[in-house]
Amino acid sequence: MAEEKTIKHSELETNSVRQFYLEDDTVVAIYNLEGEYFATSDVCTHGQAFLSDGDIRGDEIICPFHEGSFDIRTGEPADPPCVIPLERYETRLGEDGYIYITIE
Ligand code: FES
């Protein structure tokens, strides 16, 4: 298990999402929900859409392709056609102001 440094929290406005490539080229979506930080896979489990191109509605990210959605906090599918959960990553806000993601 390791941690990877991602973006500065100041680059992520409240209730917004950003795409970030990890060192192994895994693409993740990093979210700021009311000042809490979350991270999931950025690729929708229904197709090849980047969720970071979608919209946040409440605690959910809406996929830009077919408007299925996922719970940002858990990665669980919330609306069809999404039925497979997203990979979810633990996050931590470092004292240096960067968001860190735990990689299994
Ligand atoms: S590709 Fe995301 S809902 Fe279809």
Q: Which of 65, 83, 84 to mutate to test the pocket of ligand 1 (most atoms within 8 A of CB)?
A: 65
Walk me through the domains of the chain, giving residue ranges and CATH numbers: 2-103 (2.102.10.10)
The confidence score (pLDDT) of residue 1 equals 83
Q: What is the pLDDT of residues 84-93, one digit of tens each?
A: 999 999 999 9
Burial letters 51-60, b for 16+ CB under 10 A, else e: bbebebeebb
Strands 91-93 and 98-103, bridge-based pairing: antiparallel
Query: Given pLDDT bands bounded at 50, 70 and 90, which one contains residue 104?
Result: confident
The confidence score (pLDDT) of residue 43 equals 98
Amino acid symbol at 70: F
Q: What is the pLDDT of residues 58-77, one digit of tens each?
A: 999 999 999 999 999 999 99
CA distances from 96 to 7, 16, 92, 101 (A): 11, 21, 11, 14
What's the CA-to-centroid distance between 63 and ligand 1, angstroms? Answer: 6
- 81 ligand 1 Cβ < 6 A: yes
Query: Given pLDDT bands bounded at 50, 70 and 90, which one contains residue 44?
Result: very high
- 9 ligand 1 Cβ < 6 A: no
